C-alpha cells in the first residue's frame, strides 16, 4: 500500500519548542548517565574498530544483547569513540551519531534499525514517496500449563534476530520489524511454539511442557552429558525433591525416592548419620558407604577417623554413639542436584572408591534470568517420638513378676506351693520372692517414657541471592541457620552455614569458578543409644527397664537415686535413674568445616578445553565430655566423675587436571575426558582423659587427675589417571568406555596400583525408522554395561607392620619399649567389584508414562579379612585378601503424569530387590562368628548374607510333659518344663547342642518400595510419600532383659499374652514366666525369639502448600510466596516391638548389623514453612 506524505517548513514557535525539548532531553540524559549502575557503563573506547566487534564487546562487558536485520546494518563499518565511562544509552547515541541507524532498549535488549527518510525537512509538498509498513509494538505474557508465569522465556520475531525475554511475571514487550506477523516462543523444558500476532498488540501464550526433556543435561563425574546419551544407571534428584521433606542433611531426600538406594535412619539423635546402601553391601570389613562428591571434592566416611570421633574412651566400642555425619554441614537449600551413579559403568570413573556407588552433589549458582533472585526459605517443626513402646503398667508387671517367682519356686523347691508367703525373706531366696513395693503397692504407676521424652523444636532459616550475569560474572551467595532440639532433654544440634559460588569469564577463552563453603556445627549429645549397664548408662534403656512402681523423684523434688530400680530387691536387677543420667552427662562437640575450590577452564579450541581444579576440605573438631559426681551408677553410693577432651584436625587437598573434547561431525558425536588427579589427607587426633574430680565446679580436664590420653597422626594419598569416551551415531547407537588407574598409599607396596575399566552400550529404538513416527512410544532405550570398581576404605596402615608401646622388665626395673603389633602384608590390595547391568528406558505418550528398569549382578572379590594364623608367629590374625560376595537384584522406577493443565497429578513409584550372598571366604570357607553388643550372635558364612543373625531356632512351646519326653534332648536346658520353648534339632542328631545354632534372620530386606504423589490445582499443591521395607529382621537385644520371661525389669506388654497353664497357653509364641529360666528351659539363650520382623509401611511425608497470587497482592516485586504445612513420619505400620524397625546400633562393623540395644527413637514432626522469592 502506498501513501502520500506532504512536507512543509515549521513555524518559528514550533522550532523553538523542539529545541527546548531536545535541550531538556539532553539534560535528562546527563542526569541518567550520571546515575546509571556500574554494570551499565561502557568503560572502553574504540579507534577505527569494526562495528560487529563493538557489539560483541558491549555484550560481554554489560550483558546487553543486540538484535538487528543483517541487511540493514553494515557490521564491517569502522567506528571510533574516544569517550570512556559512558552509560549504555549515551554510548549508543554517540556510536550512531551522524549515521543512518537508531536504537531502542527493551529489557536489556538493544534493537538496532535503519532510520526512516529525513523527517520534517519542509512542510511544502515535494514528491510522492512509498512508506513501508510501520513497525508494531507487541506486549504479552507467557504462562505454563497451570497458568503460572514463566520468567526468562525467549520471544523472537520469526525470520529475524529481533527478540526479547520475559520478566519475573512472565511479561514481555517488543517491537516487531515491519512485515513480521509471527513470533517464536521457547522455554527450557517446554515445547517451542509459533504464534500468529497479525493485528494484535497484546497476547497471552500458554506453553506445553515437554515431558521428554530429551536434552536434559546431568552430571556424570568429571563432566556433564545429555540424558539421552547416558548409557549407565544414573538417577537425578531435583532441588524440589531435596527440600520436600524438612531434614538436616540431603540424604533425607533419597528415602523412599530412588530404586536401589536404601537410606536407613538408624537413630533419631540430632546430627546422627544415616546408613546409605547403593545396591546392597559388598564388603565384610571395609566400608559400605557410597562416595560423596560435593562440587567436585570427594568426601567419604573414613572409618579410621569417624569411628574415633564423638565416642567416649572408657565405653565399649559396641556401645558408642552414632558416627559423625560428614554431610551434616551441608545445607539442603544450597543443593542444585544430586546424581546417584549406581552401576559400575557410571561409577568406574572414580575407580577404587566407586565400589559402593557414588553420590554427586552440586550446589547452586547464579541466575540465568535478566535480574537477580533473592530467596528466603524458613520452617519451624514440632517433633515428638514417632511411637512409644508398649510396656507393662504397674499392675501388669506385679502380676508378671509374681508368676515368674512362683514358677521358679515350684520348679526349684520340692513341696513348694504358690500359696506360700511371697514377701521379702519368706521363701529364703530373693528369686522366689516379690519386692516389698510389689507386695504392698502404693499405687505408683510411672510412665518413664513420658518422663524422658519431650517435644523437640526444629528451626531453619535460609537466605540466598542468585545474581544475574554482569560483566561476564555471576554468583550465588547464601547463609543459613539450622537448629534441632531433640526429644530428650539437652540433645541439640546447630548449624551455621555460608556458601559463595562465583563464576566469571576472565577472558574470551578463560573461565573461573570459585566455591567456598565454611560451616560451623555445635552438637550437644546425650548418652541415649546404649544399654542400661554401659558407662555412662543409656538413657532410653534405663528408662524402659525401670519399674513403673518406682517414683522418679524424692519427696523433696530431687531425683530419686537411692530408692529406685536398683533398690527394689526381690530378684530384680539394678539400673540408674535416667533423669540423673540426663542431668549428669555433658557432651559437647564443635566442628568448623570448610570446603573450597578454584577451577580455571581454558578453551584451547572450540571443541577442546583444559581444566585445572584445586580443592580443599578442612575439618576442625573439638569434643568436651564430662560425667559429674551427681550420677550414681546403678546401686553405687558414690559418684564416679570422668572427663575427656578430644580434638582433631583433618586437611584434605585435591588437584585435578583434565582435557575435555566434544565434537559433532555429521551423524557422529564424541565426548571425551582425559585427566590426572592427586589427593592427600592428613589427620591428627588428640585425646586426654581425667578422673578423681573432687567436685563438679571445674568440669574440664584441669579439674581432675589426668590418667590417660593418646595422640595419633595418620595420612593417605591417592594418585590417579582417568579416561572416558562417549560416542553416539545418529543419536541412537551409544557407547561409553572408561578406565581409571589408582595408586593408593593404603595398600601393600606390591599392589598399590589398580586398574578399573568399564564399558556400556545403548540403543535408542525410538530413533529407528519403525518407531520414529510413533505416537505411543516417545522413548525406548536399551542399555547394557559392565565395569570394575574398588573399595579402599580400610585402615591407613593395614598393609604395614605396626609397633605399639609395651613395658618390659630389665634388671628389676620397668622399661618403656616397643613391640610389633601387626604383620605386614606387601600384597594387600583393594576389594574389586565387577558388575553387569542391563536396563531399559521406556517413555509412552510423549513420556507422560516413563519406565526405568534394571537388572544387576555384582560380585566383589578379594575381600579384606582378618584371617586366623598359627600362634607360633606370635600373632593371632593377619589382614588378607580373601573371599567373594554377590549382590544381585532388580529395580523398577515408574513415573506418570496422570493429569496436566489446571489440575496436575504426578506419580512416582519405585521398587527394588537385592539378594546378598557370601560366595566364598577363607581357604576352608570356615564361617566367621562375630561378637556384637551381647556375645556371638552373628555369622558370616557361604550361602547366606553378610552378618546374618545366629542362634537356636524356636520350634514352639511345650504343652505337656509327654511332649518334653518325646522331644530331642536339650543339652542347653537343665530342666525344661511345660510352657518352656522347644528348640529345633537342626543337624538331626537327636539332641539340641551348640551345633544346632544356625542362621535365624538377616538385616537385609527382600525388597523396598516407595510411592510419591504430587497434586496441584492452580495455586494449591499437595504431595505425600509412602515408603516400605519388606523382609528385614532386627536383632532386638532389649529382649534379653524385657522379653526374657524373668521379670527382673519392666517388660514388653507382649508378655501379658504368655503361657500361663495348659488351659491358658497365651498366644502360642510367648513362653511361661520364670525368674531363673537358665536353670530350667533356658528360654533366654540366643535364638530366633530375639529376632523380630522389621518390615514396615510408613507415611514418610505429607505436604500441603499454597502459593499466593503475588501479582494481585504485591505487584511485580514478589516473584513467589508459598506457605506450606508438612507432616513427617506420621505413622509406621510394623510388627517390630522396638522404636525403630531400621535400627542398627553398630554402624561401623558390617559383620554385626541390625542390633537394637536401646537406640535413640525416631521422631515424627509437624512443620510450618514459607518459600519467598523476590
What's the average model confidence in pLDDT over 1067-1082? 96
**Does residue 1160 fall inside a structural domain?**
yes
pLDDT at 122 over 70: no
Residue 31 has pLDDT above 90, yes or no: no
Q: Where are the beta strands (DSSP E) in 792-920?
A: 803-810, 813-820, 831-844, 849-861, 864-868, 877-881, 884-899, 903-913, 915-920
DSSP string for 541-591 = HHHHHS-TTS-SB-TTSSB--SSSGGG--TT------HHHHHHHEEEEEEE
600 pLDDT above the threshold of 90: yes
Contacts of 1145 (CB under 8 A, 6+ apart): 266, 318, 529, 530, 933, 1037, 1155, 1156, 1157, 1158, 1159
Please give the Cα distance from 213 to 603 (Å, whole number). 28
| Domain of residue 74, CATH code | 3.55.50.30
Query: Domain count of the chain?
Result: 4
Of the candidates 361, 366, 223, 234, the one whose C-alpha atom is nearest the C-alpha of residue 295 is 361
Q: Is the pLDDT of residue 23 over 60?
A: no
Indicate the pLDDT class of residue 14, thresholds 50, 70 and 90.
very low
d(CA 46, CA 803): 73
Q: Which residues neighbour 389 within 8 Å (Cβ) at sequence distance 6 or greater?
A: 449, 544, 1052, 1137, 1138, 1139
Is the pLDDT score of 529 beyond 90? no
Reading the block at residue 733, the C-alpha cell is 547407537
Distances (CA, A) of 702 to 389, 642, 698, 885: 42, 12, 7, 50
Copy the grid coordinates of residue 668: 557422529
**Cβ(39)–Cβ(471) below 8 Å:** yes
For residue 133, pLDDT over 70 is answered with: no
Mean pLDDT of the chain: 88
Euclidean distance between CA atoms 661 and 671, whole angstroms: 6
Task: Read off the pLDDT band of 55 (50, 70, 90).
Answer: confident
Nearest to 337 by CA among 246, 244, 259, 240: 240
Q: Are 271 and 523 in contact (CB under 8 A)?
A: yes
* Domain edge (last residue) among 367, 387, 409: 367
What CA–CA distance (Å, rounded) separates 576 from 538? 9
* The C-alpha cell that represents 388 in the structure block: 512409644
Would you say residue 266 lies in a domain? yes
pLDDT value at residue 210: 62
Give 326's DSSP letter. G
- In angstroms, the CA 629 to CA 642 distance is 8
Q: What is the mean pLDDT of residues 279-290?
A: 88
Residue 564 half-sphere exposure, CB side, CA atoms within 13 Å? 27
Whole-number Å distance between alpha carbons of 697 and 291: 45
Longest dimension (CA), the chain: 140
- Residue of higher predicted confidence among 854 and 147: 854
193 and 224: one domain?
A: no
Q: At what angle do helices 88-95 and 12-35 cross, to 10 degrees?
A: 130
Contact 703, 697 (CB under 8 A): yes
Shared domain check, 180 and 43: no
Residue 381 domain-assigned (yes or no): no
End of a domain among 333, 367, 401? 367
Contact call for residues 231 and 783 (beta carbons, < 8 A): yes
Task: Specify the DSSP class assigned to residue 693.
Answer: -
Which helix H or strand E contains 499, and what residues bound it?
Answer: strand 492-507
**pLDDT 10s digits, 217-251:** 788 888 888 888 899 999 988 887 887 777 778 88
**Same domain flag for 202 and 231:** no
Judge whether 564 lies within some domain.
no
Residues 25 and 71 in one domain: yes
Length of the chain in terms of residues written: 1174
Query: Would you say residue 29 has pLDDT above 50?
Result: no
Pairing of strands 998-1001, 585-605: unpaired
Give the mean model confidence (pLDDT) for residues 720-742.
Answer: 95
Cα–Cα distance for residue pair 168/1121, rounded to 1 Å: 13
Query: Are 1163 and 532 contacting, i.e. CB atoms less than 8 angstroms apart?
Result: no
Q: Are residues 101 and 69 in the same domain?
A: yes
Coil, strand or helix at 374: strand
Is residue 169 located within the same domain as residue 263?
Answer: no
Q: What is the DSSP string of 717-750?
A: EEEEEEEEEEEEETTTEEEEEEEEEEEETTS-TT
Strand partners, 685: 648, 712
> Is the residue at 1153 inside a domain?
yes
Distance (Å, whole) CA 367 – CA 474? 7
* 309 Cβ neighbours under 8 A, 6+ residues apart: 323, 324, 621, 623, 646, 648
**Is 512 within a domain?**
no
Contact 511, 503 (CB under 8 A): yes
Same-domain pairing of 1120 and 1148: yes
Residue 237 and residue 314 in one domain: yes
Q: Are residues 328 and 180 in the same domain?
A: no
Mean of pLDDT values over 1085-1090? 97
Residue 167, domain CATH? 2.60.40.1120
Q: Is the pLDDT of residue 803 over 90?
A: no
The string of DSSP letters for 40-100 reads GEE---EEEEEHHHHHHHHHHHH--EEEE-TTT--TT-EEEE---SEEHHHHHHHHTTTSS
- Interval 373-394: pLDDT, tens: 899 999 999 999 999 999 999 9
Q: What single DSSP character describes residue 1052?
A: B
Are 85 and 94 within 8 A, CB to CB? no
The grid cell for 356 is: 559402593
The pLDDT-based confidence of 1162 (bands split at 50, 70, 90) is: very high
Q: Would you say residue 130 has pLDDT above 60?
A: no
Say whether 661 sits in a helix, a strand or coil: strand
Name residues whose C-beta falls within 8 Å of residue 593's C-beta, 6 or more positions apart in sequence. 329, 518, 519, 520, 521, 617, 618, 619, 620
- How far apart CA 1092 and CA 460 sit, in angstroms, is 37
Query: Cell triple for residue 498?
Result: 555460608
Cα pseudo-dihedral 759, 764, 767, 771, rounded to 10: 150
Instruction: Print the domain residue range for 338.
Output: 220-367
pLDDT over threshold 90, residue 19: no
Q: CA-to-CA distance for 1044 and 553, rounded, in angstroms?
A: 28
* Stretch 632-640: mean pLDDT: 94
Alpha-carbon gap, residue 37 to 87, rounded angstroms: 8
Question: Is 864 within a domain?
Answer: no
- The rounded distance, in Å, linking the Cα atoms of 867 and 850 is 49
Give the angle subtended at the CA of 853 by the CAs of 849 and 855, to the nearest 5°: 175
Q: Give 818-858 pLDDT, tens digit per residue.
A: 888 888 889 988 899 999 999 999 999 888 999 999 999 99
- The model's confidence at residue 802, banded by pLDDT at 50, 70 and 90, is confident
DSSP 892-932: EEEEEEEE-SSEEEEEEEEEEE-EEEEEE-STT---EEEE-
- Tens digits of residue pLDDT in 560-588: 999 999 999 999 999 999 999 999 999 99
Domain end point (choices 114, 145, 179): 114
148 with 93, same domain: the answer is: no
Strand order, beta sheet including 163-165? 163-165, 154-157, 182-186, 193-196
Q: Are residues 28 and 174 in the same domain?
A: no
Q: Are residues 363 and 229 in the same domain?
A: yes
Query: CA-CA distance, 216 to 946, in Å (whole number)?
Result: 39
Question: How much is the CA Rg of the chain, to the nearest whole Å?
Answer: 37
**Who has greater pLDDT, 1088 or 94?**
1088
- Give domain status of residue 350, yes or no: yes
Confidence of residue 319 (pLDDT cuts 50, 70, 90): confident
Q: What is the residue whose three cell numbers read 494481585?
A: 1112
- Give 1097-1143 pLDDT, tens digit per residue: 999 999 999 999 877 777 777 888 999 999 999 999 999 999 999 99
Contact 390, 1137 (CB under 8 A): yes
Asked which of 105-114, 125-134, 396-405, 1057-1066 is least confident by mean pLDDT, the reply is 125-134
Phi-psi region of 197 (alpha: psi -120 to 50; beta: other; left: phi over 0): alpha
In this structure, of 451-455, 533-537, 867-871, 1009-1013, the range with the lowest mean pLDDT score is 867-871
CATH number, position 271: 2.170.130.10
Three-state SS for 1098? strand
| Ramachandran category for residue 1129: left, alpha or beta (phi over 0 → left; psi -120 to 50 → alpha) | left
Amino acid at each position: 500500500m502506498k501513501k502520500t506524505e506532504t512536507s512543509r517548513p515549521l513555524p518559528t514557535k514550533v522550532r523553538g519548542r523542539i529545541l527546548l525539548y531536545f535541550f531538556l532531553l539532553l539534560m535528562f540524559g546527563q542526569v541518567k548517565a550520571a546515575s546509571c549502575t556500574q554494570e551499565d557503563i561502557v568503560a572502553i573506547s574504540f579507534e577505527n574498530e569494526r562495528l560487529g566487534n563493538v557489539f560483541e564487546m558491549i555484550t560481554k562487558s554489560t550483558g546487553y544483547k543486540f538484535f538487528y536485520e543483517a541487511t540493514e546494518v553494515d557490521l564491517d563499518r569502522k567506528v571510533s569513540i574516544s569517550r570512556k565511562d559512558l552509560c549504555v544509552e549515551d554510548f549508543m547515541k554517540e556510536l550512531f551519531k551522524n549515521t543512518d541507524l537508531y536504537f531502542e532498549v527493551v529489557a536489556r535488549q538493544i534493537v538496532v534499525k535503519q532510520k526512516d527518510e529525513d523527517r520534517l525537512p519542509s512542510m511544502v509538498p515535494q514528491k510522492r514517496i512509498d512508506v513501508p509498513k510501520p513497525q508494531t509494538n507487541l506486549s504479552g505474557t507467557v504462562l505454563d500449563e497451570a497458568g503460572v508465569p514463566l520468567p526468562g522465556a525467549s520471544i523472537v520475531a520469526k525470520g529475524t534476530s529481533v527478540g526479547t525475554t520475559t520478566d519475573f511475571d512472565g511479561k514481555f514487550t517488543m517491537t516487531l520489524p515491519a512485515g513480521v506477523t509471527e513470533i517464536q516462543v521457547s522455554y527450557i523444558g517446554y515445547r517451542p511454539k509459533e504464534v500468529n500476532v497479525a493485528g494484535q498488540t497484546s497476547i497471552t501464550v500458554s506453553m506445553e511442557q515437554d515431558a521428554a526433556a530429551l536434552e536434559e543435561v546431568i552430571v556424570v563425574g568429571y563432566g556433564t552429558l545429555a540424558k539421552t546419551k547416558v548409557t549407565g544407571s544414573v538417577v537425578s534428584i531435583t532441588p524440589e525433591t531435596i527440600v520436600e521433606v524438612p531434614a538436616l542433611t540431603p540424604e533425607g531426600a533419597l528415602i523412599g525416592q530412588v530404586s536401589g538406594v536404601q537410606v536407613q535412619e538408624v537413630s533419631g539423635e540430632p546430627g546422627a548419620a544415616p546408613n546409605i546402601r547403593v545396591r546392597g553391601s559388598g564388603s565384610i570389613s571395609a566400608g559400605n558407604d557410597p562416595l560423596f562428591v560435593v562440587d567436585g571434592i570427594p568426601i567419604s566416611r573414613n572409618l579410621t577417623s569417624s569411628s574415633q570421633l564423638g565416642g567416649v574412651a572408657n565405653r565399649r566400642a559396641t556401645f558408642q554413639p552414632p558416627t559423625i555425619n560428614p554431610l551434616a554441614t551441608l545445607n539442603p537449600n544450597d543443593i542444585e542436584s544430586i546424581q546417584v551413579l549406581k552401576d559400575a559403568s557410571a561409577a568406574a570413573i572414580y575407580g577404587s572408591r566407586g565400589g559402593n556407588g557414588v553420590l554427586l552433589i552440586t550446589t547452586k549458582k547464579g541466575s540465568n534470568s535478566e535480574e537477580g533472585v533473592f530467596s528466603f526459605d524458613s520452617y519451624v517443626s514440632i517433633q515428638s517420638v514417632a511411637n512409644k513402646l508398649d510396656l507393662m503398667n504397674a499392675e501388669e508387671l506385679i502380676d508378671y513378676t509374681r508368676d515368674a517367682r512362683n514358677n521358679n519356686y515350684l520348679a526349684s523347691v520340692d513341696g513348694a506351693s504358690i500359696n506360700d508367703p511371697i514377701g521379702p525373706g519368706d521363701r529364703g531366696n530373693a528369686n522366689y520372692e516379690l519386692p516389698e513395693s510389689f507386695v504392698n503397692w502404693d499405687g505408683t504407676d510411672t510412665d518413664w517414657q513420658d518422663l524422658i521424652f519431650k517435644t523437640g523444636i526444629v528451626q531453619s532459616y535460609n537466605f540466598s541471592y542468585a545474581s544475574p550475569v554482569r560483566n561476564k560474572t555471576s554468583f550465588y551467595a547464601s547463609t543459613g541457620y539450622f537448629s534441632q532440639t531433640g526429644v530428650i532433654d539437652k540433645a541439640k544440634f546447630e548449624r551455621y552455614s555460608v556458601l559463595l559460588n562465583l563464576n566469571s569469564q576472565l577472558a574470551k577463552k578463560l573461565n573461573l569458578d570459585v566455591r567456598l563453603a565454611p560451616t560451623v556445627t555445635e552438637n550437644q549429645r546425650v548418652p541415649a543409644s546404649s544399654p542400661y549397664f554401659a558407662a555412662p548408662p543409656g538413657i532410653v534403656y534405663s528408662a524402659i527397664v525401670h519399674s513403673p512402681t518406682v517414683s522418679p523423684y524424692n519427696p523433696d523434688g530431687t531425683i530419686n537415686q537411692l530408692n529406685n530400680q536398683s533398690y527394689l530387691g526381690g530378684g530384680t536387677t539394678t539400673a540408674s535413674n535416667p533423669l540423673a543420667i540426663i542431668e549428669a552427662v555433658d557432651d559437647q562437640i564443635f566442628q568448623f568445616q570448610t570446603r573450597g575450590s578454584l577451577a580455571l577452564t581454558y578453551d584451547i579450541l572450540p571443541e577442546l578445553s583444559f581444566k585445572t581444579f584445586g580443592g580443599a576440605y578442612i575439618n576442625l573438631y573439638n569434643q568436651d565430655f564430662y560425667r559429674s559426681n551427681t550420677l550414681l551408677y546403678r546401686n553405687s553410693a558414690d559418684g564416679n566423675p570422668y572427663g575427656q577432651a578430644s580434638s582433631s584436625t583433618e586437611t584434605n587437598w585435591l588437584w585435578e587436571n583434565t582435557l575435555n573434547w566434544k565434537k559433532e561431525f555429521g551423524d557422529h558425536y564424541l565426548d571425551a575426558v582425559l585427566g590426572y588427579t592427586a589427593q592427600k589427607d592428613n589427620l591428627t587426633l588428640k585425646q586426654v582423659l581425667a578422673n578423681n574430680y573432687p567436685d563438679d565446679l571445674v568440669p574440664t580436664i584441669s579439674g581432675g587427675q589426668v590418667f590417660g590420653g593418646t595422640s595419633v597422626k595418620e595420612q593417605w594419598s591417592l594418585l590417579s589417571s582417568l579416561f572416558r569416551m562417549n560416542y553416539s551415531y545418529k543419536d541412537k547407537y551409544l557407547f561409553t568406555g572408561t578406565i581409571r588407574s589408582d595408586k593408593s598409599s593404603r595398600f601393600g607396596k606390591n599392589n598399590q596400583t589398580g586398574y578399573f575399566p568399564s564399558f556400556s552400550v545403548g540403543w535408542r529404538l525410538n530413533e529407528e525408522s519403525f518407531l520414529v513416527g510413533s505416537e505411543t512410544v516417545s522413548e525406548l532405550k536399551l542399555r547394557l554395561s559392565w565395569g570394575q570398581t574398588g573399595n579402599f576404605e580400610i585402615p591407613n596402615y593395614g598393609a604395614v607392620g605396626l609397633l605399639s608401646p609395651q613395658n618390659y622388665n630389665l634388671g628389676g626395673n620397668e622399661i618403656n619399649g616397643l613391640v610389633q603389633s601387626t604383620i605386614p602384608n606387601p600384597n594387600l590390595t583393594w576389594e574389586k567389584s565387577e558388575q553387569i547391568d542391563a536396563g531399559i528406558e521406556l517413555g509412552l505418550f510423549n513420556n507422560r508414562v516413563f519406565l526405568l528398569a534394571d537388572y544387576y549382578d555384582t560380585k566383589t572379590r578379594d575381600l579384606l579379612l582378618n584371617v586366623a594364623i598359627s600362634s607360633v608367629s606370635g600373632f593371632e590374625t593377619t589382614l588378607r585378601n580373601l573371599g567373594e560376595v554377590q549382590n544381585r537384584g532388580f529395580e523398577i522406577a515408574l513415573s506418570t503424569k496422570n493429569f496436566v493443565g489446571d489440575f496436575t497429578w504426578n506419580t512416582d513409584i519405585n521398587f527394588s530387590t537385592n539378594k546378598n550372598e557370601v560366595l566364598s571366604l577363607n581357604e576352608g570357607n570356615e564361617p566367621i562368628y562375630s561378637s556384637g553388643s551381647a556375645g556371638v550372635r552373628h555369622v558370616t558364612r557361604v550361602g547366606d548374607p553378610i552378618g546374618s543373625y545366629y542362634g537356636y531356632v524356636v520350634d514352639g512351646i511345650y504343652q505337656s510333659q509327654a511332649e518334653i519326653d518325646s522331644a530331642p534332648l536339650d543339652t542347653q536346658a537343665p530342666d525344661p518344663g511345660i510352657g518352656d520353648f522347644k528348640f529345633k534339632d537342626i543337624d538331626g542328631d537327636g539332641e539340641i547342642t551348640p551345633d544346632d545354632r544356625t542362621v535365624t534372620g538377616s538385616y537385609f530386606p527382600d525388597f523396598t518400595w516407595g510411592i510419591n504423589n504430587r497434586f496441584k490445582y492452580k495455586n494449591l499443591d499437595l504431595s505425600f510419600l509412602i515408603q516400605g521395607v519388606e523382609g528385614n529382621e532386627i536383632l532386638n537385644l532389649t529382649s534379653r532383659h524385657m522379653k526374657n520371661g524373668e521379670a527382673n525389669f519392666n517388660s514388653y506388654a507382649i508378655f501379658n499374652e504368655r503361657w500361663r497353664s495348659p488351659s491358658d497357653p497365651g498366644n502360642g509364641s510367648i513362653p511361661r514366666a520364670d525368674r531363673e529360666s537358665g536353670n530350667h528351659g533356658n528360654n533366654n539363650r540366643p535364638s530366633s525369639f530375639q529376632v523380630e520382623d522389621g518390615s514396615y509401611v510408613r507415611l514418610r511425608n505429607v505436604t500441603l502448600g499454597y502459593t499466593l497470587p503475588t501479582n494481585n497482592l504485591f505487584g511485580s516485586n514478589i516473584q513467589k510466596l508459598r506457605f506450606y504445612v508438612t507432616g513427617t513420619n506420621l505413622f509406621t505400620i510394623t510388627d517390630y516391638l522396638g522404636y525403630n524397625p531400621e535400627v542398627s546400633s553398630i554402624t561401623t562393623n558390617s559383620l554385626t548389623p541390625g542390633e537394637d540395644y536401646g537406640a535413640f527413637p525416631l521422631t515424627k514432626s509437624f512443620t510450618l514453612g514459607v518459600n519467598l522469592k523476590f
